[in-house]
Structure 1
């Protein structure tokens, strides 16, 4: 009997991508679960687990695994798996850090430009209030060249986003206390030593850091108050890095002229999500100044295949005893 690879969530097709790579080495099964409770009795015998972002793997589930050689998070973020408990059980946890770098960076820049050039605001305002039919309804809009584009987290995606912003003529600055020295020189961007220093002149803020206890609600009412009034926020990283209530209030007060959010703390969002309530309210400024996407910045047809292929290759290495890559625990 071949070892079993279990895909916990997100994938529900014929699994041809995975089976082409694991043919003759392992059987592949997809659960398409939407909660951790649905995994009960389904993954205990798995030799490797591929997971996406629709659910979490807690210590309770990890403790039921009997012979698991790898848990691979088929994506960049890995906050939805208990890496510490997996390590204690001797189970490596890996991610796929390079599958959607271009897509997320493209989405971040697309969102930033749509906000900063008034594209989204014009589209929303003139649909419901067609008069006056002129440019002044979105004023003031400023030239992109020399505007300060601030990046939190200069990893792969942060770097790709910074280079795109630089190509638009913006002044790019970043804050990343874990980035070794010299990347600012190599990329032609400016490094700052604190988040407050970064935000003090940030006209566009783009978030690209992982979710950790240190970054949880890093962007909050206080940090947003450090920004110049009328700036823009883009988050394509992790939902809980940004405190949603603070964004709602900043849009209402005008501290933020706009925001674009691809990721939320709970997905799909709950009915009491304060930001979505404001977004859906025609009387709230967020109705015209907020872009929300359903955690889709990663998506392209090519990127989706990359994610699945790279996750399957990680499982292949684990099953065949080859050195593992991108271990995060």
Structure 2
């Protein structure tokens, strides 16, 4: 089999096997750590599949001569130089929507935990403590207002789940016109500040761009209701992390959940050390056993289709 697919990060094994039945596949989940070896392999490859730790740039692609596509096991493209890929005629294929349900569940689950901290009391209770009075002030998710910033595939599923839990949903997304069917079940907000001002829980679902960097800055965090909750499953850099740490430490905000950071992994002396009412996870909101299968097969199928398309065009 001539067509070689190089996979430089973790992919569901069943999807790897599916590709292996059709193409020559080189799969090393830690290949992204050996850049020279990856450059060598790409000199004779038809497709590359990555997650978010492989930097796909001009240096990586310096020797490729046959590459047709780059598959991204996820949706963020910050690690892929799109201009370089397009200049070389490479299709960049993200797994749009394949992990949306997993991210949406993460958002609602974190909102429930932060509104009602009793869910995290197991260590205290197991050790003989009885913090009943302190934890009796937890809040119900039903009746709260969820503010969604970015009503794409993840934002829409998040809205559906939140509504099923009894939340009212408002959203801001200037990329969607008023006739878009996404607005049929949520209240459209025209000013971003009003989302921060009117929501009990604000959930961010936007890419990192020049316009969205530090979107949740000290001023907007200051607009949030006393005890408000912030959740970021979008991209690091969308939140001013130092400002968020201050808002949590002062008690202005009731909690925050972050799955993405400006620097990943966080440094040992990060601004979040010792900050209360905070859930920090290592960029796994969209990663579950089920979503990994969906994402992997989505990319496997689309990479296979792209290779076959190019072959047919060359005949």
Contact 2:42 2:61 in 1 (8 A): no
Of the three residues 300, 304, 320, the one matched with 2:288 is 300
For 1:242 and 1:147, the matched residues in 2 are separated by 22
User: Is the alpha carbon distance of 1:183 and 1:167 closer, same or farther for their aligned partners in structure 2, counting shifts above 3 Å?
Assistant: farther
For 1:73 and 1:307, the matched residues in 2 are separated by 9
Of the three residues 16, 19, 33, the one matched with 2:17 is 19
- The Cα of 1:209 is off from its aligned counterpart by 1.3
Q: Which residue of the partner structure matches residue 174 of structure 2?
A: 177
Contact 2:196 2:223 in 1 (8 A): yes
- The Cα of 1:164 is off from its aligned counterpart by 1.0
- The Cα of 1:47 is off from its aligned counterpart by 0.8
For 2:72 and 2:233, the matched residues in 1 are separated by 18
> TM-score when scaled to structure 2?
0.89
Task: For residues 229-254 of structure 1, give each alpha carbon's deviation from its aligned partner in whole angstroms, at most 9, with x where no partner exists.
Answer: 21011112222222221211111111
For 2:113 and 2:29, the matched residues in 1 are separated by 38
Structure 1: stretches of 5+ with no match in the other structure:
279-285, 324-329
Q: Which residue of the partner structure matches residue 103 of structure 1?
A: 102
Contact 2:82 2:92 in 1 (8 A): yes
User: Is the alpha carbon distance of 1:261 and 1:112 closer, same or farther for their aligned partners in structure 2, counting shifts above 3 Å?
Assistant: same
1:271-286 mapped onto 2 (5 Å cutoff): 271-275=268-272, 277-278=273-274, 286=275
- The Cα of 1:270 is off from its aligned counterpart by 2.6
For 1:272 and 1:74, the matched residues in 2 are separated by 30
Structure 2: stretches of 5+ with no match in the other structure:
none
SS of the equivalent of 2:45 reads coil
SS of the equivalent of 1:112 reads helix
Contact 2:151 2:182 in 1 (8 A): no
> How big is the alpha-carbon RMSD for the aligned residues of Structure 1 and Structure 2?
2.5
Q: Would you say 1:72 and 2:60 are equivalent positions?
A: no
Q: Would you say 1:268 and 2:256 are equivalent positions?
A: no
Q: Which residue of the partner structure matches residue 33 of structure 1?
A: 31
For 2:188 and 2:64, the matched residues in 1 are separated by 44
Q: Would you say 1:147 and 2:135 are equivalent positions?
A: no
User: Is the alpha carbon distance of 1:31 and 1:160 closer, same or farther for their aligned partners in structure 2, counting shifts above 3 Å?
Assistant: closer
Contact 1:63 1:89 in 2 (8 A): no
1:80-229 mapped onto 2 (5 Å cutoff): 80-120=79-119, 122-123=121-122, 130=129, 133-134=131-132, 136-138=133-135, 140-183=137-180, 187-229=184-226
User: Is the alpha carbon distance of 1:92 and 1:82 closer, same or farther for their aligned partners in structure 2, counting shifts above 3 Å?
Assistant: same
Q: Which residue of the partner structure matches residue 310 of structure 1?
A: 298
- The Cα of 1:322 is off from its aligned counterpart by 6.5
- The Cα of 1:55 is off from its aligned counterpart by 3.0
User: Is the alpha carbon distance of 1:266 and 1:42 closer, same or farther for their aligned partners in structure 2, counting shifts above 3 Å?
Assistant: farther
* Comparing 314-323 and 109-118, the one that deviates more: 314-323
Q: Which residue of the partner structure matches residue 283 of structure 1?
A: none
User: Is the alpha carbon distance of 1:128 and 1:249 closer, same or farther for their aligned partners in structure 2, counting shifts above 3 Å?
Assistant: farther
SS of the equivalent of 1:144 reads coil
